[in-house]
A and B are shown apart, each in its own frame.
Chain A
């Protein structure tokens, strides 16, 4: 089963993403900030990362930079942001995001992108 790591400090958002992705058949793990996200990725890399921007301790940009520095298999990362401003987007790309979604993420849009990046869910 393809594994997705949802990193967001808001439990509500984590639950929201988790329920959409799990209902579609993907395996989901959660992290509450970049530090925990890195710890989990180092323990067992994921096939896709769904990363929030604003987080305490280590934010989304910091997480991606650290992740891209590692020797881990580099999987696609989607940055989830409420700021549609261009400058933030570029910052996300510089840090190592591969795509972005604007909050609140529509379930259809999320699943379309995840399916494109991971293929249909496999058992």
Chain B
């Protein structure tokens, strides 16, 4: 992928998202003109961007959206739900296309139909008559040298030669393509009359845009025609004539070279190498008379129908009209080798290069004509605005720039004089006068004939013309001298968009750095104990302290980079809640709070799916239908609050609805029926405990899988997802009043604090957030209840499990010298469990890397980490082990 496409996709995603958000905002403040304006601007820009690439499916939909929003902005179309739905659908479609472009680099053909449908639906909202669809031709402003799409080659050669002759004598030549609007007859337009008005027509043609339908199906009131004309009139006059139908017309300035297309039978043998060699030699020697003789001779021997003969006729014409144009002559002669038309675009470019800095091609001539016409138009403006003086100066600067060769000559002085006069009188007339006087000459300087003259009368070698010969510019030289200063200006962007993988890489690197730095204390210890160099050991330790501080700060800084606001997930909820509640026939007011709360990006990512699940649950099962709510004495519109807040080093997400709440009795009954709890538990558990049962595996109170929240997954999935990132989920609910779900997560999960324990001469890590306490249990304090070992800690019975047994190591745990066992008390599903190990070691901060590949299946481990001395620490996942 190229950088431009990358940039496009990244920017388009931003736009797509912002447009979605703005549409949602409009729901809450309909009729906001500022929002509509903003929306229009964004869709417009996105459409413009997509136009830089070949993505007609995307551009088409966006164009329709832009037209509709434009109409809304002007008050021609009211903003309503149907329109919002369509726009949202269109933006979803754009996202789909973006994904596809990013994935496979192009848009599949299967989207053509949806694109057309979306565009049609959008446009159907426009008032009749404003429909711009069906105007395939655009108004092209650029003059093209080659214009390969124009059917010039099919026109008679004699006519083309005639026009070529006329073009060299200064006539403009334009291609006009006019496809009237299908509904034009109803708009009071008369295409035939319009075409009849075109001045200087030298050729014209009218045809159907697509094959005529059967007579029975033909709608005579629909205009199906396209007119094609060649005109020698000034382009400005043509633009003027068609100014009310810019979308229906295409006016292209034709370079004379585009006419120079030999046609004919390419057969008849291509053994012309001798002729080509002779002709090139004659050309190089400047023997144009000889070249003409040879060419005529060759032409007599050739059948007139051959391609060769056609090329020779053109050669003679060029020899007659522009004998100095050796580039074209050479290209034409060389084309005889291949019998294909030379690529005139390249030739023109070559001529421009050889011609020096002026840009002498006819394409430039056409562009110059347009620029001069534009200046004339600006000067003709009759207003009197405060910046008129500046505008006049700018016109003068533009005119001066257009004749770079004239140095300090008469025209330049006259221009400066005209500007002074214009400024003094506050009138454009003096500058207009200058344009009238010198404009035509300026244009003539760009016709090929004049080029030839200029060059043949110029004795200096071509290289001399290349020396830049810029005149004193009207705005003075300061503008040029200050050139490079802008390079020193600090960058415009205040925020930097960085590829996520780059941050991940930084993260990994700092992780390794932390580990590498931890090896320094080991080194110091060895220096002292093994080599007895105590001074060196102390120096290493000092240095370690420095490196340690820097590494920690660096780690902190990188962590900060990874922090992102929870609004990143929150922003998808307005749309989700809107769509879901509408589907369910419920009315819900969503309130978002604390969107600016920042958390680590991994946490943000881990939050998204559980939150969506919870919100769907709330909408599906929590908030009642409007009628039920009214019956229960509540407002018809339910309220769903999503709130984020930070408490110490944890972030809390609360999802609160004012729905029907959870009935503990119902839960108890269901849980018992499903075998989640036994009869004894059923009698014993409190209401709160009953509500917590919804987190139990395999529990779902809804019998049928619903389209929305069901899908066979219950709240246990949410709980598991939370636990995976070190978070917890809790619920509070009151029947009839509503439900509150609280997710609590660490702010960052990149660094974990683990305790190292030893068992069977191996070391393992245990996450500190699970460790309740560490105790030494004397052998005598261990009781055996059936098969299980237990002990009593602070008055309650704690089951003891041997780590060796959990890991299937066939080895007894070793007690210490006092015959005490080391027991790590962890909290598991609300109960304390003692895990017996051989010994405790220190706690360390590690960067936990999850196990991947085959090892990923080992549920008993949450990951691995490298220790300072290079050993690998396996970190246990006691939840899965016990």
Contacts and interface: CB of A to CB of B under 8 A. Distances in A.
Contacts of A56: 38, 41
A74 to B, nearest CB: 4
B492 A117 contact: no
A23 interface: no
Contacts of B480: 2, 47
B543 to A, nearest CB: 45
A14 to B, nearest CB: 9
A48 B206 CA distance: 42
Contacts of A45: 475, 478-479, 482
B818 interface: no
Nearest to B51: A104
B495 to A, nearest CB: 12
B394 interface: yes
Interface string A91-108: 001101111111110101
A63 B185 CA distance: 41
Interface string B483-526: 11111010010000000000000000000000000000000000
Contacts of B381: 90, 93-94
Contacts of A46: 479
B45 interface: yes
Contact of A94 (B3, B368, B383, B478): B383
B314 interface: no
A36 B490 CA distance: 12
Contact of A30 (B44, B484, B492): B492
A11 to B, nearest CB: 5
B200 to A, nearest CB: 22
A9 B493 CA distance: 12
B483 A27 contact: yes
A91 to B, nearest CB: 11
Contacts of B475: 45, 73-75
A6 B377 CA distance: 24
Contacts, number: 194
Interface residues of B, number: 75
Interface string A46-82: 1100000011100000000111111001111100001
B585 interface: no
A102 B44 CA distance: 14
B479 A75 contact: yes
Contact of A120 (B468, B473, B478, B487): B468
Contacts of A100: 141, 374
Interface stretch (B98-106, B265-273, B357-365): B357-365
B374 A93 contact: yes
A112 B359 contact: yes
13 contacts: A1-B483, A13-B49, A27-B487, A32-B492, A54-B41, A54-B44, A73-B397, A82-B44, A98-B378, A100-B374, A108-B363, A113-B367, A117-B402
Interface of A: 1-3, 9-13, 15-16, 19, 27, 29-32, 36, 40, 43-47, 54-56, 65-70, 73-77, 82, 84-86, 90, 93-94, 96-104, 106, 108-109, 112-113, 115-120, 122
Which 6 residue pairs across A and B have the least CB separation, nearest first? A73-B475, A68-B390, A109-B142, A68-B387, A74-B393, A120-B357
Interface of B: 3-4, 7-8, 11-12, 38, 41, 44-49, 51-52, 138-144, 243-244, 246-247, 356-357, 359, 363-364, 367-368, 370-371, 374-375, 377-378, 381, 383, 385-391, 393-398, 401-402, 404, 468, 470, 473-476, 478-480, 482-487, 489, 492
Given A12-B4, A75-B394, A102-B139, 15 more contacts: A10-B11, A15-B4, A15-B7, A29-B486, A30-B492, A45-B482, A68-B393, A73-B478, A73-B479, A104-B48, A112-B359, A116-B368, A117-B401, A119-B404, A122-B468
